Structure 1
Amino acid sequence: MTTAIQNTQHEFWLQRWDANQIGFHREQINELLQRYYPSTILPANPRTLVPLCGKSKDMLWLSAQGASILGCELSPSACEQFFTDNQLSAELTLEKSFHYFQHDTIKLACGDFFALPLEIAGELDFCYDRAALVALPADLRQIYAQKIAQLLPSGSLYLLVTLSYSDLTRIAPPYSISHAEVENLYAHNFTIQHLETLAEQATSPPQKSPVDNHVYLLRRK
């Protein structure tokens, strides 16, 4: 059942993509992903979930490491741009209220992540989240963490990148998420290892306070 706050979030992100207001998108591969991708403890060709994926180029990097990608993204525009921007052809199919864009081992499910069926996700080995949890308001973060736990089987790995900053007056994404909140959201279903905090100075408004990026490796219990 979709809540009012989920509907509001849907409208917000669809409008951002339609207006090309996507300052959150990065053309570079995420440094923390490259540093901490757990290749040595993942199976060969791991089936990898990328929730709220946008048109992230991190999916190309993961695919180059041998991963089979299942991205989930609400915006049809974002899904289309991922393939056109990277000059990839995509086959389009419809299944269980989701439109699927697929090229080789990269598959994007276009629809509401919270409605992604377990049978569609299949047997996942790994989840990568750089910009999903931090995009959600507090009211949805617990629901999101529960959905992740439902999708990931015991023993699977989850690389989570969050950020925190001192400007607590900020009320727009990306949201600041503390270590304590990560523990509160995930400790019941995952073991949690904090790998690194990487400090950076935000360079553009409205976020002018220093930003710390945090990377965690979680394992499903």
Structure 2
Amino acid sequence: MDDRLKAPNDNWLQRWKENNIGWHHVEFNQHLLNHWHALYLPQGSMVLAPLCGKSRDMVWLAGHGYRIRGVELSPLAIEAFFKEHALQPRIEYLGDFECWRDGPFEIYCGDIFDLEQIDNSDVNAVYDRASLV
């Protein structure tokens, strides 16, 4: 990988290692609560959450009957998500990704720019609170 492309990944991983995650909110995103219903997605729909971290919004979505496919570079973030919600993930390997699964959650650990390795034909919606800043 070109060093110019590697630097942002290293920075992201370091921020999680230092727990320097000021963007993480413990409350559900108010815009999600106010506007998600307007999508009229049936329960059971698959929602892609890019750069998901350990977002509690995924828990809200799952609580409303959606399946969640997260993508996150930091294994620390994924581990924290499953631990904080008392989930017992099974881990499998798909391409360059490590996939953590339990219940409605499947979170892929790896670079989102490698996402074409994963079949996402079942994704019905994308929830992005702030990853595309």
- Give TM class, smaller chain: over 0.9
Q: Are residues 1:17 and 2:39 paired?
A: no
Counterpart in the other structure of 1:60: 59
Query: How far does the alpha carbon of each residue in 1:140-173 deviate from its partner, in whole angstroms, 9 at most, with x for none?
Result: xxxxxxxxxxxxxxxxxxxxxxxxxxxxxxxxxx
Query: How far does the alpha carbon of each residue in 1:156-201 deviate from its partner, in whole angstroms, 9 at most, with x for none?
Result: xxxxxxxxxxxxxxxxxxxxxxxxxxxxxxxxxxxxxxxxxxxxxx
In 2, Cα distance between the equivalents of 1:119 and 1:98? 9
Q: CA deviation at 1:119?
A: 4.1
Query: How far does the alpha carbon of each residue in 1:99-152 deviate from its partner, in whole angstroms, 9 at most, with x for none?
Result: 011111100000000101264323210000012001xxxxxxxxxxxxxxxxxx
Counterpart contact for 1:70–1:121, Cα < 8 Å: no
TM-score, normalised to structure 2, is: 0.93
Counterpart in the other structure of 1:106: 105
Counterpart in the other structure of 2:31: 32
Q: CA deviation at 1:76?
A: 0.5
Query: How far does the alpha carbon of each residue in 1:52-77 deviate from its partner, in whole angstroms, 9 at most, with x for none?
Result: 00000000000011111000000000
Letter of the structure 2 residue corresponding to residue 91 of structure 1: R
Alpha carbons of 1:40 and 1:9: their partners in 2 closer, same or farther (altered >3 Å)?
Answer: closer
Counterpart in the other structure of 1:200: none
Unmatched runs of 5 consecutive residues or more in structure 2: none
Counterpart in the other structure of 1:116: 115
Unmatched runs of 5 consecutive residues or more in structure 1: 135-221
| Number of residue pairs matched by the alignment | 133
In 1, Cα distance between the equivalents of 2:30 and 2:53? 18
After the TM superposition, which segments of 4 or more aligned residues of structure 1 sit over 4 Å from their partners? none
In 1, Cα distance between the equivalents of 2:77 and 2:130? 14
Partner of 1:120: helix, strand, or coil? coil
In 2, Cα distance between the equivalents of 1:9 and 1:68? 29
Greater relative contact order (CA < 8 Å, ≥ 6 in sequence): 2
In 2, Cα distance between the equivalents of 1:93 and 1:22? 27
Counterpart contact for 2:43–2:64, Cα < 8 Å: no
- What RMSD in Å do the two structures reach over aligned CA positions? 1.5
Counterpart in the other structure of 1:74: 73
Counterpart in the other structure of 1:178: none
Counterpart in the other structure of 1:6: 5
Counterpart in the other structure of 1:131: 130
Alpha carbons of 1:97 and 1:28: their partners in 2 closer, same or farther (altered >3 Å)?
Answer: same
Identity between Structure 1 and Structure 2 (%): 36
TM-score, normalised to structure 1, is: 0.57
Q: Which structure dedicates a bigger proportion of its chain to strand? A: 1
